Structures are given as structure tokens and as C-alpha cells.
Structure 1
């Protein structure tokens, strides 16, 4: 029987916003994304809608070669895999489709980022920050990794979870599947 995995990508682009968060959290990574494939071809999060505009944020299908990461070639990352069932993937895709269909209605939950620092969840029905979104996808699909609300989950929570298995850590563009695609 073949194993099924989803992938959690945690990154640090080195932008002013991420440096500010890092100064407070002391964590090495401050952005979380979810992918359904090892090569990170299908990668989703809440972040910049336009690579050159840090103000406009919301639900995004991230593109490593043409999106925000392309502007920051020295982005560091860690990639984890989580074993899931085929049924889990079906449920996650169903939840994800709600975000895709209503992508323009979703906003970046900047107040939620501050709420995490106070251990006080700040939730709005159409607003998420990156790690909240990834945790929400998992939780709504029946995968409960923590005993706290998605609005309190940080990238560091993913990094420290024992169910997530390390795949890679280093420069994002040195990750073998990405390196191969870039060489083509």
C-alpha cells in the first residue's frame, strides 16, 4: 500500500516584515504553506497577492519561480511531510476548493498575527494568516495536531510537531526538485 503525504513548507525570505516577526519570535521560519506534492508545484498559503506589494495579502497559490520567492533567491526553508490517508487528501482538497472559489473575498489576518503574540486568538470569517490557514485546512479535514485553535498556531508549532517528518532544510532554490525544475 502506497503512503500518501502532504508537505508543509516553512520559509524565511528575509523581508522587513519577516525580520520584524523573527525579532519577536526568535524562530528561524515565519511563513507556512501547504503542498500536495513533494516538488511543491501545488503550494498554497496566505501571503502577498503580488510579489512587489507587501500590503496586499490574502489567499494565494504560491509559485516559487514567478511569485514572491522569485524575488528572494536566498530564502531559507524547511520542508516536512505528514503521512495522511487518501480520504484525508480528498477532504483537504474539498476545504481548499472553498478558498479557491472565493479567493477574492479572503484577506490577510494581520491582527491575528498580533493576537498570537498575546496568546489571544483573533479570528474573522474571511481572514487568515499563513500558519492559521494551514492549520485550518488540516483541522477542517479531521487532522487535529494541536489542542489549540488554528488562530494560535505558528510556523514554529509545525517545526516542533513530532508527526511531521523532516524532508529538507536549507536554501529553497537548492531543494533538489526545485533545482531540477530550474535547470530545465
Structure 2
């Protein structure tokens, strides 16, 4: 009898859940959905720290819930609601955004269900069959988990999350919002560099909020890459957030942009090209400057762009090299990470020039 009662109670709870999701889909606007995401993240973190999990698991789950919250807010703010009133995709996007509400609950259920496997300790009899090598590997994995969780805790800070959320209204995942920010003086400076038959790649560790958050996913120290026509980086350019001066998209950069934390650094490499190839890249950048651009924040997760000139930094640099016929490794532009320009250089096309430390 008790089993029957429990069964109908579970059906009732699930029914209420679907009703709540339906109400969110029909009536919730962007601020309400953001509040729901924030509330659920806070509740799940509290439940995690009250549960009987190992400390490392609690830290790891806290990081996961924070990242899920950021992804949820970015998705509805940069993708779903810009479609409102302009595209039928809004209704599909909002449905996905509402379904994302239950994602933290699925994560908790998965961890709880697999708790005995993930944090399993062998019996005395089973321990006798465990080799020292396996124990050493397990200890190494646990150490990596603890180190990764500690690093992620610092990078996914309240200040960084707040900075990114406050910057979201400036972005667009579907429209070009950056138009003509490169001046005639910039292109005059680029033209003067055509005698130098090299393009320059600058891979950097800026310390910006976006860079620190991206590093949690990539597990890499360097998370930004730029293109320059000269060795001294006076014509350096990339896709970025505009540094609160210009709209997010393709913008010229300055050395101050790279110095956003102590220990920031830039690795500068040269890539031999012909004058015609370098001119092609200059003309293509001028074309993007005329047509407009936007920063592909959603592409960091989805690996896709709604329009050709909506890109992120490594996607932009690789696309320029690919179109000019000087790409020295083969990948889809949306899957290229900043460090791939160094790590995928199997044929040693790049020449290291210098490191700039702040």
C-alpha cells in the first residue's frame, strides 16, 4: 500500500513540475528566467554542501552549477530574446531555455545515482587485488581533480560572473553590431607593413573575466589570440568585447588590453607569407569592417556562427589564414582554440619572436 501511495505522489510531483515549466514557457520573460536560473543554482549549491559528499566533490559540483548558470543566462540573453518579435526561432529557443531549468537537477541526480561508483572504496578482499599502479593512477586523478577545482574556484569568481552578465546586453549572436571601428589611419599603418612578408600571431594570457572563464573549459593558460601585420604589434587586431569602448566584434587592440592581471603575458610568433597574401588579409579585414561584425560568445559553446562575420578570436585568426591560403593545420574554424596555433604547428611554420611580460 505504501508503495502505491509513493507512486501516485511521484506522479503528482512530476505533474506539478511540468505545469511549472509550462507556465515559465508561456509567461516568463528574460528577467524572470534569469532569476529562476540564479535561484536554482543557489539552491543546488546549498544542497550540495549539506549532502554527504567528499569535499572535492562539493567544490567540483559548485563549479559545475556556476558554469551551468552562466551558460543558461548567456543562452537566453544572447540567443533567445534577441529573436523575440523577429524570428519564429524565438519559440524554439525559449523552449530550450525553459528545459535548461532542470539541467542542474539532472546533474544532481546523475551524481547521486552514481555516487557509489564515483566515490567507491573497495572492501578488504577487493583491495588485495588492486595493484600499486592503479592506486597511483587514482591518486594522480584525485590530485588533478583537487587542483582543477581550486583553480576553477578562483576563475569562476563572483566578480567575473558579474562582469560577464553585465556585459551580455552589449552582445548579439544574430546581428552585426560593430561597424567601421577600424579607422583609415589603421589601414594606412597596415599598408606600411606590406614590405614585411610576415604575419604575426600573438597568443596571450590577458586575465580578463572572459579569458579566465574560458580557461576553465579549455584548461589552458593562454586563451586569446590576435593577428598583427607588424612585429611590434602596432596593427594588432582580433575579435574581442570592445574593452567597454567599442561594440563587441572585430576591433584593433592595444598593449593595455593584454595587461588585465599580474603576470599577464603575450607570446609573439611570425608566419612567412607573400605580399599578395598579406594584402588579401588586409582587404578581407576592411570588408568585415564595412559589413559589420559581432563577437561569437555562443560559438564558444556551440562551435557555430549565425553569420559569417560573427566570430570569436581564434575562429577569426584561423579564418583569415585559411582564406589567405596560409593555414598550416586543418581544423574547423569554430573548433580552433588559441593554443592550437602553437600546438598544431607540426611542420614548424611559425617562428618564435619574443615574449612580452607585464
Per the shorter chain, which TM-score range? 0.7 to 0.9
1:83 counterpart (272, 276, 285): 272
CA contact (8 A) 2:205 2:258 kept: no
Q: How does 1:123-142 map to 2 (within 5 A)?
A: 123-125=305-307, 126-142=309-325
Note closer, same or farther for the CA distance 1:73–1:57 as it changes in structure 2 (3 Å cut).
farther
Output the TM-score relative to the length of structure 1: 0.78
Aligned position for 1:181: none
Contact conserved, 1:5 with 1:81, CA < 8 A, in 2? yes
Larger Rg: 2
Higher helix share: 2
Unaligned segments of structure 1, at least 5 residues: 116-120, 174-184
Give the structure 2 partner of residue 177 of structure 1: none
* Compared CA separation, residues 71 and 154, structure 1 to 2 (3 A): closer
CA distance in 2, matches of 1:145, 1:112: 23
Work out whether residues 51 and 71 of structure 1, in 8 Å CA contact, stay in contact via their aligned partners in 2.
Answer: no
Cα distance between partner residues in 2 of 1:123 and 1:169: 32
Q: Distance in 1 between matches of 2:288 and 2:266?
A: 25
For residues 196 and 284 of structure 2, the distance between their equivalents in structure 1, rounded to whole angstroms, comes to 21
Match of 1:95 in 2: 284
Report the Cα distance in structure 1 between the residues aligned to 2:202 and 2:297, rounded to whole angstroms. Answer: 20
Equivalent residues, number: 160
Q: CA–CA distance in 2 between the matches of 1:124 and 1:149?
A: 15
TM-score by length of 2: 0.42
Judged with a 3 Å threshold, the aligned counterparts in structure 2 of structure 1 residues 70 and 156 are, in CA distance, closer, same or farther, namely closer
SS at match of 1:155: coil
Q: What is the CA-CA distance between 1:73 and the residue it aligns to?
A: 6.6
* Residue 219 of structure 2 is aligned to residue 26 of structure 1: yes
Q: Classify the secondary structure of the residue corresponding to 1:50.
A: helix
Instruction: Give the whole-Å Cα distance in 1 for the aligned partners of 2:295 and 2:253.
Output: 15
2:202 is the alignment partner of 1:9: yes
| Structure 2 equivalent of residue 169 of structure 1 | 355
Residue 71 of structure 1 deviates from its aligned partner by 4.9
Tell me how far apart the structure 2 counterparts of residues 155 and 46 of structure 1 sit (CA, whole Å): 12
| Between structures 1 and 2, the one with greater strand share | 1
Matching residue of 1:64: 255
Higher relative contact order structure (alpha carbons within 8 Å, sequence separation ≥ 6): 1
